[in-house]
Structure 1
Amino acid sequence: MPATSRFSKTLILLLVLLILIASSVLAQPVNAAEPPPMKKILILNAQTPEFPIHTIFTKAVKDEMLRLGYTNIEYYSEYLELNLYQTEPNYIDSLSQLLKQKYTTNKPDVIMVNGVYGAPFMIQYGKQLFPGVPVVITSNDFEGFSDMQLPADYSGISGIMDLSKSIQLILNNHSGTKKIDIIIGASEIEVKLMATFKKKANFYSDKVTFEYLNELSFPQILETVHNTDPHTAILVLYIYKDAAGTNFVPSKASREVTQSANAPVYGIYEPYLGVGIVGGNLLSFAVLGKKAAAQAIDFLAGNRTYDKIIEKVPASAAAHSNFGL
C-alpha cells in the first residue's frame, strides 16, 4: 500500500477519534454553580397592620436588599400590636410564647424591629426568644432609643427629627401666624415627645405662642381645631392615645384633624403627607429602612461592624403638598 494512502487512513482515524472524544466531553452534564443559600429575615412591626410606617419601612428594606444584589432572601413579618395590648395582663407572655413557637425551628438569620415600643420589647425579651440571632432595631430619637444599651449582636438606627424646622416652616409659609396649636395625645411616648418639642419651641417664644391639646379627648381636639382663632396654624405631632384613653392610628387621626380644621395643618411624619396636611419637616421611614438593610447585610456577611451601636440618622426633610398653601 502506498505511503500516502496509509497516511490518509491514519489521519482519518485520528480525526474520527478526536470527534468521538469531543462528543463524549460535550455530552457530560455541566455542574451549574450552586446557588447561594437562602437567608431568612424576620421583620417585627411593633404596631398593628394599619400603621403605614410598616409598609413603607418593609418596602424600603426589600428594595435596598435587591439593589445591593441580595436576591436570596425569604421575608417573614409579624405585627406585635404593642400599641393596643402591651399593658393587657398576660399579653406579653402570650406574644412571646407564640413567637418562640413559630421561629424556634424556622430560625431567622437576622431580625429587624420597626416602630415605637419595639425597642424596649426586643431589648428585654429578644435574647430569650431568639438566642444567637442578630437584631437590627429602628426607632425615633424621642423614644429615648439613642440612650438605650444594646446587648451583643444587636444594632440600631435612631431617626433624628429636627422639630424646630417644622415650626420655622410654618412661620415661613404663614407670616401672620400668632399661635400654633400642637396636636398630641396623652400616652407615655407622647409625653416624651412633647417634652422634647417644648425645648425646641422655647426658641420661638418671642415669635409665636403654643397651645398644647394633650389634655383633650379626640372629639374635643376636633372641635378646637374647627373653631380655631384667626392667624393660627396647627402642628400634628402624634395622636396615639387621647386623654380619654382611646387608641388611634396617627395617620388616620391626622386625616380627621385636617378635615375638621379651619387652619393650615402641618405634621412631622412622612405618612401624614397623604392625609391632607400642608407639609412639614417629615421623618422618612424609607430612609430608616435603607439604613436597616445595610446593617442587616453586615450581619449576614458575618461582620459585627455595628455591634451594640445605635447609629443616629438625620431622617427628616421639608416636604409640601398642595393642601392649604
Structure 2
Amino acid sequence: MGFQSGKVLSRGVRWCAAICCFLIAIFGTAASSSMEIARRVPRILILYPYDERIVATTEAGEAVRTRLLEVTNAKIELFSEFLDLSRFPEREHLERMARYLSAKYADRQPDVVIALGEESARFIVQNRNGLADHAKIIFGGFSRATANNLKLPDDMIGALSEFDILKTAEMARRLQPQAHHLYIIGGSADFDRAWLATARTDLANFSKDYETTYLENLTIEEFTRRVAELPRDSIILALTIFKDSSGSNFIPREAIRQIAQTASAPIYGPYPTYIDYGAVGGNFVTFNSLGTTMADLALGAIAGKGGSSVDAPPTYVVDARQLRHWGLSAANLPPGAIQMFKEKTFWEQYHYVIIATLAVITAQGVVITGLLIERRRRRKAQSESHRRLLEVVHLNQSATAGALSASIAHELNQPLGAIRSNAEAAAVILRSETPDLKLIEQILVDIRDDDQRAHEVISQVRNLLKKRGDIDCQTFDLNDVAASAIKILHGEALRRGVAVHTYPLPRKLPIRADKVHVQQVILNLATNAMDAMLDVAACDRRLIIETALARGSKVELSVSDTGRGIPDGQLASVFEPFFTTKPTGTGLGLSIARAIVETYGGKISAGNRPQGGAIFRIVLPLAQSG
C-alpha cells in the first residue's frame, strides 16, 4: 500500500516536471522573442493584395502606417509589398512572389505581417515559412465566414469586417419605398463572380419583393448603356468590376463612376470608396477604421500581448449630394447614418459669428435702451429746468416791475395828464360861440397819441408780469429789444439822474430766442448798472448800451456804467446764485441772466472798463448769416 502510494507520488512528480518543461519552452520562446524585439527597432511588413491604384486597400494601409508611426513615435521599420493579384492572378506569379519575398527578407524577417484582404491572408498562410517564420500575422478586410473558409492558423488574429450587402439593400429600400425593380451589377473577375454568388444568397428573400435582374458578363459600355435605360423606380446595387467581359481591367470605383454618370436610377454599393464616385452610399466598414484596428492589434503583438480577432463595426454612409440629386429624403436614412459632403446650414457655418453678432446687437440694444431711458430722463429734466427757469424769470420780472413801479407810474401819468389837459381844452373851445374845429381836431390827434403811449407802457408792464407755460422762441432784431428795454427804463433813469446813451449797430441783428427773456436780461443788467452809480455824482452817471457784430456769426450787446466797477477778486463770482454786493440785493439777477443767455446758446461775461465802471457783455448767435 505504501509502495503503491510512492509510485503514484513519483508518477505525479514526473507529470508536473513535464508540464513545467512544456510551459517553460512555450513562454520562454515568447519571452525571448519579446526581448529580442525590445533590443532593436520592430519590423512590420504590410502586404497589399493588389497594386497601389486600388484605393480601398491603399486607404487601409495608410491608416495602419499613420497609427503605427504615431504610437511608436516613428521608432519602427515599415515595409510595404504589393502582390498585384488583380492583374496577375496566375499561380506562377504567386510562386515567383513567394520566392522573391523570401529572398528579400531572408536577413530581415518581419516581426509582424499585416495582411490586407483575403488574397494577402491566403498568400502569407501558404508562404509563411522562409518569409515570416516567427512573425505574428494580423489580417483584416474580410468577414468571419471567409476567415473560417480559409482555415487560418490559430495564432493569426485580425480585424473582421462584414460587407453585408443586405444592409445596403435595406437602406436603399428605406430611401426608395416606391421602387419596384432591383438590379445587381458585377464584373467578370474571379473576385467579382464570388461577390455575385454571395449577393444571390444574401439577397434571396429581399429580392422576392422586386423584379430582380443580375447584370453580369457585360462590357463596360454595355453596363453603361443598360443602366442608363433602367426604370426610374429601380434600386441598383453595384458590387465590384475588376474586369469586364472583354477582359479589360478596372479599378472598381472608376468603373462605377463611368456607369453612374448616365444612370437613370440611384446606385448603392458596399464600399466607402464608391462615395464621391456616383454612389448614393451603403453599409460598410470604413477603411480608415479598419486600418486603425489592425494597427492596434499589431502594436499588441509587438508588446508580447495575447489577443483575439475583433469585429470592426460597420456604418451607414451616404453622399448628401446624391441624396439631393435623386430627391431622396435624409429623414428616411437609418439612425446614425453619416452624410458626407453635406452642405452646412448658415447656422452651422457661421454660428460663432451669429452668436457674437447677436451678443453685440444685444449689448447695443441694452446700451441703446439705456441711452433712450437716459434721453427721456434728460428731456424730462430739461423740461423741468425750463419750467423752473420760466418761474424764476417770472419772479424776476415781477421784482423788476415792482422796482420800476414808480417810473412806470410816472410814464403813465405823463400821457394821462396830457389827455386830461387836452380834453379840458377841447371842452372850453366847444363852449365858445365859434369853436375852432381844426384846433379841436388837433387836440383829438394829441389825445390819440397820448393814449397810444399809455397803451405801450401798459403792454410793456403786462409782458413783464405775464406768466407763461413755455418758451416762445422767435426771430427778432436785438436792436428793437434793446430799444424797448430803454423805454421801460427811461422813467427810472430820469428819476435817478442817469443819462442813457445807446449806440445800436446801424443794421438788423436777427437772433432766435424768447424776446421777453432777452429784454429781461437787458433790464437786469441796466438796473444793476444804475444801482452801481448811486455814490457817483449826478453829472457823471451814464448808462451805455451798445450792440455790435462779434466774430463767428455772432452778435454782442454790452451794458456799461460809470460806477466804481467790480473788485477783481469778485469778478469770477458775480454770476453765482445769491452773490451780491448790495445790502438789499438777492444775488439772483445776474444768475438768472446767465441762465437765460446760456439757454439760447450764448455767453455772458463781466469786466471793468479802463476809464472806470463795469461792463457786461452778452454774445448770442445770429439767426441768419449775412
TM-score scaled by length of structure 1: 0.80
Q: Which residue of 1 aligns with 2:156?
A: 154
CA-to-aligned-CA distance 1:241-269 (integer Å, 9 cap, x gap): 22333322111111111113122111110
Identify if the C-alpha distance between structure 1 residues 210 and 127 changes in structure 2 by more than 3 Å, giving closer, same or farther. Answer: farther
CA-to-aligned-CA distance 1:182-221 (integer Å, 9 cap, x gap): 1111333333322322233233234323211122222211
Rounded to whole Å, the distance in 1 between the matches of 2:294 and 2:152 is 15
Q: Which residue of 1 aligns with 2:60?
A: 57
Rounded to whole Å, the distance in 2 between the matches of 1:304 and 1:175 is 47
Is residue 110–residue 299 contact of structure 1 (8 Å, CA) maintained in 2? yes
Secondary structure of 1:280's aligned partner: strand
Greater C-alpha radius of gyration: 2
Equivalent residues in 2 for 1:1-325 (5 A)? 37-66=40-69, 68-69=71-72, 71-87=74-90, 90-141=92-143, 144-151=146-153, 153-306=155-308, 310-323=309-322, 324-325=325-326
Is residue 276–residue 319 contact of structure 2 (8 Å, CA) maintained in 1? no
Rounded to whole Å, the distance in 2 between the matches of 1:105 and 1:148 is 29
Rounded to whole Å, the distance in 1 between the matches of 2:214 and 2:203 is 11
Is residue 109–residue 131 contact of structure 2 (8 Å, CA) maintained in 1? no
Secondary structure of 1:304's aligned partner: coil
Rounded to whole Å, the distance in 2 between the matches of 1:182 and 1:283 is 21
Given residue 210 of structure 1, which amino acid in structure 2 is its aligned partner?
T
Given residue 82 of structure 1, which amino acid in structure 2 is its aligned partner?
L
Identify if the C-alpha distance between structure 1 residues 226 and 142 changes in structure 2 by more than 3 Å, giving closer, same or farther. Answer: farther
Q: Which residue of 2 aligns with 1:25?
A: none
CA-to-aligned-CA distance 1:37-94 (integer Å, 9 cap, x gap): 422211110001100112211222133335545531221111110111121x621222
TM-score scaled by length of structure 2: 0.43
Is residue 40–residue 75 contact of structure 1 (8 Å, CA) maintained in 2? yes
CA-to-aligned-CA distance 1:135-173 (integer Å, 9 cap, x gap): 111132288224322225422222112322211221222
Q: Which residue of 1 aligns with 2:458?
A: none
Given residue 71 of structure 1, which amino acid in structure 2 is its aligned partner?
A
Rounded to whole Å, the distance in 1 between the matches of 2:304 and 2:284 is 34
Is residue 46–residue 80 contact of structure 1 (8 Å, CA) maintained in 2? yes
Is residue 119–residue 145 contact of structure 1 (8 Å, CA) maintained in 2? no
Is residue 160–residue 316 contact of structure 1 (8 Å, CA) maintained in 2? no
Structure 1 vs Structure 2 CA RMSD: 2.3
How many pairs are equivalent?
A: 287
Rounded to whole Å, the distance in 1 between the matches of 2:176 and 2:111 is 50
- 5+ residue gaps, structure 1, are 1-34
Rounded to whole Å, the distance in 2 between the matches of 1:79 and 1:215 is 28
- 5+ residue gaps, structure 2, are 1-37, 327-626
Higher helix share: 2
Given residue 55 of structure 1, which amino acid in structure 2 is its aligned partner?
T
Identify if the C-alpha distance between structure 1 residues 220 and 59 changes in structure 2 by more than 3 Å, giving closer, same or farther. Answer: same
Given residue 207 of structure 2, which amino acid in structure 1 is its aligned partner?
S
Is residue 138–residue 158 contact of structure 1 (8 Å, CA) maintained in 2? yes
Rounded to whole Å, the distance in 1 between the matches of 2:261 and 2:179 is 20
Is residue 285–residue 312 contact of structure 2 (8 Å, CA) maintained in 1? no
Rounded to whole Å, the distance in 2 between the matches of 1:80 and 1:262 is 37
Secondary structure of 1:160's aligned partner: coil
Rounded to whole Å, the distance in 2 between the matches of 1:141 and 1:247 is 25
Rounded to whole Å, the distance in 1 between the matches of 2:246 and 2:295 is 39
